[in-house]
Amino acid sequence: MSVLIKNGRIVTATDDYHADIFASGERVDLIGTNLEIDADLVVDAGGKLVIPGGIDPHTHLELPFGGTTTSDTFETGTRAAAFGGTTSIIDFAVQFKGESTLEALETWHEKAAGKTAIDYSFHMIITDMPESRTHEMRRLSEEGVSSYKLFMAYPGAMLSDDGTIFRAMRQAGEDGTLVCMHAENGIVIDELIKIALEQGHIEPKYHALTRPTRLEAEGVHRALAIAEVARSPVYIVHLSAYDALQELRMAQARGVMAHAETCPQYLLLDVSAYDEPGFDGAKYVLTPPLREKWNQEELWRGLRGNALNAISTDHCPFCLKEQKELGKYDFSKIPNGGPGIENRMSLIYHYGVNGGYIDLNRFVELTSTGPAKIFGMFPKKGTIAVGSDADIVIFDPEREETISYYNAHTHHMNIDYNAYEGMPVKGFTETVFSRGRMIIDRGEYLGRPGDGEFIKRGPYGGMYTPSRSGEIPSQAPSTRRGG
Ligand code: URP
Ligand code: ZN
Ligand code: ZN
């Protein structure tokens, strides 16, 4: 099957030009002007943007969490992603306490194999990591899982103590892999939750009131300090607020290999959503919670200035009926998470590019190239270039839609609400190619479950950090010059 995409405006993280693209198999073979080549399929992209398929580096499909399981399966979630112009995801496998991470990886391979519409990879959620098992991390990276997520939140379930975090980071630093950190002080948050419940506060908005930004900033500070001493890179997930961003900037300024993502919910929604009538505020019980609106400007600034390096969704959908309702009489029992996998590209294009916060190249960088580079997938993924996978989106910059659960163009996710209900967007995915195969054609899904393949990722940043063979730093990084 060969395809010729003609007359499009090709935009990558660095380039912006008009040309044709020819792919005879899974990869791009040729890019040039006025290509005259026979192809099985010729698509006219005149007047459209032709961009690398989106990469969402943070999704939770079929995740057991909070006494239930996320409502999108690998089949429904990846199909919704494809509709929205995302052609790769990095989801999370979970190692439960006492279990081997390699067994956990097997379990997640079984869940996803043969189901997905688009290519996928896994981070490994680590819930414990005694010294005797740190060698598993290198084995995981050999299996293409070159990043891990650890939690400073959710005591008793996911939380890792600082020793575990240090051990994992030190190993990652040696192996050329990457620790992703959920940075929030979960121990103090649990105390605040206890106080709120004792005072009879059960409504969804107390989820936000018991998770102040300062406790996220403290987690970010601690994660960055531990990474600095462990001499490893670190990636802060779902950064939501200005004071956390300031911690990130300070660490970056002193040379810590610190990366971070934010998500559409923190850029576009705010704490007032918890005041929706009845129990509807539960739709926004996600972690970290929505913040005061003024933080949004600061996050856009962080994206423009490169402190923040990626935009993921943290797609973690739970239906309002029956799932969020588990916490109807106790906000701390509402499963944490919200949807977004389908709407990310349009939301960021409209509110970011049309809104004047970021330019087109930066849009591509934040939604595709950045994640591909950080997570060891570039240049196979994340760009349009000869030899790269033909993961290509034809994006109509003029098409207007209203994001809604009730709009069949904007909602294919398996969840009974849309967090961005009623938000207008100008800029919409029209046609999607996944490794050269057309899987979405003007709103119609042409693929099948199992089209997607597992992406065996390379080392962090595409670089191999030579092993320091357990070397202990002769001098710990200091806060004072010469100190
Ligand atoms: O609310 C969220 N983010 N749920 C998913 C788990 C996590 O912390 O990413
Ligand atoms: Zn998290
Ligand atoms: Zn998450």
C-alpha span between 142 and 457 (Å, rounded): 9
- Give the mutation target among 239, 287, 312, 415 for probing the ligand 1 site: most ligand atoms within 8 A of CB: 287
Ligand nearest to the CA of 183: 2
Per-residue pLDDT of the chain (483 residues; tens, 9 = 90+): 999 999 999 999 999 999 999 999 999 999 999 999 999 999 999 999 999 999 999 999 999 998 999 999 999 999 999 999 999 999 999 999 999 999 999 999 999 999 999 999 999 999 998 888 989 999 999 999 999 999 999 999 999 999 999 999 999 999 999 999 999 999 999 999 999 999 999 999 999 999 999 999 999 999 999 999 999 999 999 999 999 999 999 999 999 999 999 999 999 999 999 999 999 999 999 999 999 999 999 999 999 999 999 999 999 999 999 999 999 999 999 999 999 999 999 999 999 999 999 999 999 999 999 999 999 999 999 999 999 999 999 999 999 999 999 999 999 999 999 999 999 999 999 999 999 999 999 999 999 999 999 999 999 986 544 444 445 554 555 555 543
Ligand 1 atom 5, closest CA: 337
Q: What domains sit in the chain, N to C, each tagged with a CATH number?
A: 3-51+383-399+423-445 (2.30.40.10), 53-374 (3.20.20.140)
The closest-lying atom of ligand 1 relative to the alpha carbon of residue 158 is 8
What the block records as the tokens of 89 is: 């995801």
Strand partners, 50: 10, 394
- The finding on whether 261 has its CB within 6 A of some atom of ligand 1 is no
Query: Residue 384 contacts by C-beta under 8 Å, 6 or more apart in sequence?
Result: 10, 12, 21, 28, 31, 50, 51, 52, 392
What the block records as the tokens of 47 is: 């007047």
- The finding on whether 337 has its CB within 6 A of some atom of ligand 1 is yes
Peptide bond into 288 cis (omega under 30): yes
Measured in Å, residue 385 CA sits from the centre of ligand 2 at 33
**Ion ligand 2 contact residues with beta carbon within 5 A:** 182
Measured in Å, residue 336 CA sits from the centre of ligand 3 at 9
- The finding on whether 60 has its CB within 6 A of some atom of ligand 1 is yes
Query: Residue 138 contacts by C-beta under 8 Å, 6 or more apart in sequence?
Result: 171, 175
Ligand nearest to the CA of 265: 1
Residue 142 CB neighbour total at 10 angstroms: 10
Measured in Å, residue 72 CA sits from the centre of ligand 3 at 14
The closest-lying atom of ligand 1 relative to the alpha carbon of residue 287 is 1
Ligand 1 atom 2, closest CA: 337
C-alpha span between 2 and 177 (Å, rounded): 36
Q: At what angle do helices 294-304 and 242-253 cross, to 10 degrees?
A: 30
The closest-lying atom of ligand 1 relative to the alpha carbon of residue 182 is 8
Looking at residue 131, its pLDDT comes to 87
The closest-lying atom of ligand 1 relative to the alpha carbon of residue 149 is 9
- Give the mutation target among 184, 316, 323 for probing the ligand 1 site: most ligand atoms within 8 A of CB: 316
Tokens 């080549």 found at: 37
Strand partners, 59: 91, 315
Compute the C-alpha angle 247/66/295, nearest 5°.
30
- Give the mutation target among 56, 58, 60 for probing the ligand 1 site: most ligand atoms within 8 A of CB: 60
In this predicted model, what pLDDT tens digit does every residue of 384-420 receive, in sequence order? 999 999 999 999 999 999 999 999 999 999 999 999 9
- The finding on whether 81 has its CB within 6 A of some atom of ligand 1 is no
C-alpha span between 141 and 144 (Å, rounded): 5
- The finding on whether 314 has its CB within 6 A of some atom of ligand 1 is yes
C-alpha span between 483 and 476 (Å, rounded): 10
Ligand 1 atom 4, closest CA: 337
**Nearest CA-CA partner of 140 in 178, 166, 170:** 178
Ligand 1 atom 9, closest CA: 314
Q: How far apart are the first and last CA of the chain?
A: 63
pTM over cut 0.95: yes
Ligand 1 atom 7, closest CA: 287
